[in-house]
Structure 1
């Protein structure tokens, strides 16, 4: 079985003005190369028939980096929705209740999310996670690391690699994070909760 790259769930310009079509195209275009590297590395091995997330859980070294980054990217795109199509705003229902229970309110959650992002040195990922007991947490992972290798359920990913924001925001990671909230698909995040 050959792994196929995930298509964008919307047009490449649909996230504008928060993420430009050029940024989306450059970022999403990397996934094809990552998937090709994964497919080449697993060909003829016991991993060849596994879905990408299982390869992430079992791989090490370069294969892990390529597989995890490809999975993280796909997860990131699936958690975004154009503002015009209902992205952004604030979560509702059980997700809003869980955020309020864990962080106090949505504003405090966003502040903690931004604080963790600003403390991450270099490239990586920012996650909203659900712990085994149902509580929520914010965590950062460096480089291609993914929560798939642990016990937490990933609910939302924010890419903190420079290719995710440099064309639009240069070195202003904080401005990228402010824009990010305008395109989060809270329905997708809620659907990932257990």
Structure 2
């Protein structure tokens, strides 16, 4: 089953990588699976989505193009810029812009504008129960982690090397893809905490996608994330603790659980 899933994701990813290489010099925003004008109810109004996608992401990608102009990164695909700059501490500006854009795209692609909350499959619910005890406990702990972020960052549901689903906070543009760039305030982690030889979980219809085995080696596999940057919630919810909590409540009503499940690769036992 796992082998079949990997073949499917490779088949989806490869044409995207091939078609995008011709335009690799100038990176552009990948289109969303919904419209900015329509918003993503109940989480984001059109005005909020314009700030997050139209303004913030446009600025990130535009600045990234300026930073890589005239450098070896100019010829690289988006995921190559992200991963190669992550390996060099001298390329922090390039990494920060690429990683923040990738995180934002991954977050927005996890959502659905459906008027009704999307049901969670029993397969995904079983995985969450195995890791957290229950779906309700997972949501509570995810919310607690997100509210506990002091400053800007991201809360992630990730898959570790043993197939466990665990929670991870990264600060600023921190990425779960690369140990050196997680930007965690937890220095007790060891190499054994990070997934080795993981498959890329992000083979969706985005120009930021990568072929299998390109992005998640020696790191956690991202499954779901929420942006805890102020620009993500201030338009609709303000900056109070109560507003942040309501933002997270609406987030869970808007998650497309079928997308989340499609990102899981270690499916032994299910």
Task: Give the TM-score category using the shorter length.
Answer: over 0.9
Give, in whole Å, the separation in 1 of the partners of 2:42 and 2:122.
28
Q: What is the aligned partner in structure 2 of residue 162 from structure 1?
A: 230
**Equivalents in 2 of 1:175, 1:135: separation in Å?**
28
**Aligned 1:42-121 pairs, distance under 5 A:** 42-59=68-85, 60-84=91-115, 88-121=117-150
The answer to whether residue 93 in structure 2 is matched with residue 25 in structure 1 is no
- Give 5+ residue unaligned stretches, structure 1: none
CA distance in 1, matches of 2:77, 2:160: 23
Which shows bigger deviation, 102-111 or 29-38?
A: 29-38
- Structure 2's unaligned 5+ residue stretches are 1-23, 86-90, 180-218, 266-270
* Native 8 Å contact 1:126 1:139 kept in 2: yes
In 1: Cα distance, 2:80 partner to 2:233 partner: 29
* TM-score, structure 2 as length reference: 0.68
Within the alignment, does 1:9 sit opposite 2:33 as a pair?
A: yes
Q: Is residue 42–residue 254 contact of structure 2 (8 Å, CA) maintained in 1?
A: no
What's the CA shift for 1:19? 1.2
Q: Which has the larger radius of gyration?
A: 2
TM superposition shift of 1:49: 2.6
Cα deviation for residue 27 of structure 1 reads 0.7
Residue 140 (structure 1) aligns with: 169
Residues 88-140 of structure 1: CA deviation (Å, up to 9, x unaligned):
34421322111010001110000100111111101111111011111101111
| Alignment: residue pair count | 192
Would you say the 8 A contact 1:56–1:149 is kept in 2? Answer: no
Large movers: runs of 4+ above 6 Å = none
